[in-house]
């Protein structure tokens, strides 16, 4: 596997963490608006993952199929905080916004890489990643 494939697979894993976290949060919250938002955000992550998987497959390599331990730990932490909180929605929003920070930073780091092919693969996805991040950041600030 090439360094480029490794980097793309890292992005797949961190994005998959976000997707799974949104799906989990959707199943945990009671507010219909948050359920709808979390569904939309999970779908956006699905689209990014599919695009990244296509780039890895185009290199005749195998795309990552899992997430990361950090992503799973963040989910468990959010569950624990939500159970102790009087506002589970706000707890999940705060934790999901942090997950969005992690995803955005991973994509920005990939853009800072010295490998032009990697930047070319990541650049078209960055607006969607940034839009998801900004949506959760704005929602967190509005609370």
| Structure confidence at residue 127 (pLDDT) | 97
Q: What is the pLDDT of residues 92-135, one digit of tens each?
A: 899 899 999 999 999 999 999 878 889 999 999 999 999 999 99
Q: For residue 49, what are the CA distances in angstroms to 29, 81, 85, 91?
A: 24, 28, 32, 25
d(CA 124, CA 118): 11
- Using only C-alpha atoms, the chain has a radius of gyration, in whole angstroms, of 15
d(CA 111, CA 65): 22
User: Domain spanning 3-142: which CATH class is it, in words?
Assistant: mainly alpha
Q: What is the pLDDT of residues 50-66, one digit of tens each?
A: 999 999 998 888 888 87
pLDDT at 80 over 80: no
For the residues of 14-44, what is the DSSP string, one character each? HHHHHHHHHHHHHHH---HHHHHHHHHHHHH
Looking at the chain, the whole-number percentage of residues with pLDDT higher than 70 is 84
For the residues of 65-128, what is the DSSP string, one character each? ----HHHHHHHHHHHHHHHH-S-HHHHHHHHHHHHHHHHHHHHHHHHTSS-HHHHHHHGGGHHH
| Structure confidence at residue 98 (pLDDT) | 92
Query: Quick check: 15 and 48 in contact, CB under 8 A?
Result: yes
pLDDT at 10 over 90: yes
pLDDT at 4 over 90: no
d(CA 60, CA 143): 46
**Can you give the residue ranges of every domain in the chain?**
3-142
| Structure confidence at residue 69 (pLDDT) | 61
More confident residue, 38 or 60: 38
pLDDT at 14 over 90: yes
| Structure confidence at residue 68 (pLDDT) | 65
d(CA 119, CA 110): 7
């Amino acid at each position: 596997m090439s360094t480029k494939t490794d980097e793309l697979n890292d992005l797949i894993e961190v994005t998959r963490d976000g997707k799974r976290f949104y799906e989990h949060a959707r199943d945990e919250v009671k507010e219909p608006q948050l359920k709808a938002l979390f569904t939309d955000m999970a779908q956006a992550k699905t689209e990014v993952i599919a695009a990244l998987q296509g780039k890895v497959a185009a290199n005749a390599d195998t795309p990552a199929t899992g997430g990361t331990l950090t992503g799973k730990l963040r989910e468990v932490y959010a569950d624990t905080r939500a159970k102790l909180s009087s506002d589970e929605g706000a707890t999940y929003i705060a934790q999901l916004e942090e997950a969005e920070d992690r995803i955005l930073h991973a994509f920005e780091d990939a853009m800072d890489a010295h490998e032009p092919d990697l930047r070319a693969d990541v650049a078209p996805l960055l607006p969607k990643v940034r839009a998801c991040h900004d949506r959760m950041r704005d929602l967190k600030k509005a609370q």
